[in-house]
Every structure is written in structure tokens, then in C-alpha cells.
Amino acid sequence: MLVNLDFEVRSTIDLPTQGLDNYCKDPSTEVICMAYSKDNGPVELWTPTTQLPQFMYDKTTTFQGWNVMFEWHIMKYVLGLDVDINQCVDTMAWAAANNIPQGLDEAGSFMDAEHQKDPIGKRLIQKLCKPQKDGTFNKDPVLLKQMYDYCAQDVRTEMALGSVLRPLEDVEQAVWTLTQRINTRGVPVDPREL
């Protein structure tokens, strides 16, 4: 089964300054929602108030997303799932291989994709994904509904681009997978010491 997916996540950790590993491994990091499509079907929504869909545990599921290693890190470190990097396909890597912009919004615009990224995302991320001044997270149901819609639209945009971009050839996919394995092993570096 092919699952196109996107997570929206909140944390007290600042992702750009602290890095993805610190972000995903911090106990404050939690999933707001996951939008997904099974085998290019309609986009569905999961929230942590319900059980994870069974396909999330299936070793035969292929997970596809834009910069899918973010999703992989969320699945592994936040949700505690055992997902192999071989199960991942990165549509953003397809964009790079096709020599088009690698930002989802820019790629959608460049390719005049059927679905486009919703520009409301930056505002929603500021309001819902980062703590308020008192340290708590905003749980406004109106904003959360907008976030769910935004997340679903990201999946539609990713799928629209995936339907027109040349996928990675087998050797390119193997290099991508190896690169991600190397990156996940990595060498921890304190950027303040550089």
C-alpha cells in the first residue's frame, strides 16, 4: 500500500535552531494531526484522539511525503513506530531530480499543479505549533480545524506534484536511502561549539 502523508506537530523546541533530532526526541513534541491518502484515494485525517490506522504498523506500507524524513522522524521518535527508511519515498527528492523548486509552495506554483499549498500555514504554525507566552499550546477548535484542512491540502498538493514528476530511478532511490541512513547515524554536533 502507498500512503501519502503529512504531519502537523507542536513542541516547545524550536526546530530551526535545535534541529530535527532534538525536536523529535523532546517529550514536549506531539502530533496535532496526520493527513493521509491510501493508494491515491481521498485524503483522510487522523488525530491522536483515535487509534493509529493499522497501515502505520505494516512493513509493506510505503510512506511518501514532501521531505519525508520529517515524517519518518515523527513516526519513529514521537509515535514510537518501527518504520524502515526503505519504506520511504521523498517527493521533494523527485522535485530535485526534476530540477524544480524544492519548496512545496514554489514547486506547486512552478508546475501549475492542480492543488496548491495553502498560504495560511505559516500563521497557523505560529499560533498552534509553538507555545504561547504562558508555555501552553493554543487549542482553539476553529484554528485546529483550519490546521486539519491545511494539512490535508498539503497532502493533495504533494500528490498532485507526485503525479506529474519523474520518480527517482532505482539507483537514485538507493542513493537517497543510503544518504538518509548515513544522516540518521550521523555525528552529533553542538552548533554552539562551531
pLDDT at 143: 98
How confident is the model at residue 190, as a pLDDT? 76
Give pLDDT, residue 186: 80
Structure confidence by residue, pLDDT tens digits, 28-79: 999 999 999 999 999 999 999 999 999 999 999 999 999 999 999 999 999 9
CATH 1.20.1300 assigned to 2-185? no
The per-residue DSSP string of 81-134 comes to ----GGGEEEHHHHHHHTT--SSHHHHHHHTT-SS---TTHHHHIIIIIS--TT
pLDDT band at 188 (very low <50, low <70, confident <90, very high): confident
Q: How confident is residue 164, by pLDDT bands cut at 50, 70 and 90?
A: very high
User: In the prediction, which pLDDT does 20 show?
Assistant: 93
For the record, the C-alpha cell of 101 comes out as 523548486
* Secondary structure (3-state) at 11: coil
Tens of pLDDT, residue by residue over 102-132, are 999 999 999 998 899 998 999 999 999 999 9
pLDDT value of residue 70:
98
**Residue 187's pLDDT band (cuts 50, 70, 90):** confident
1 within 8 A of 62, measured Cβ to Cβ:
yes
Would you say 64 and 75 are in contact if contact means Cβ atoms under 8 Å apart? Answer: no
Distance CA 117, CA 84 (A): 28
Entry pTM: 0.93
Query: What are the structural domain ranges in the chain?
Result: 2-185
| Backbone phi, psi, residue 40, to 5° | 60, 25
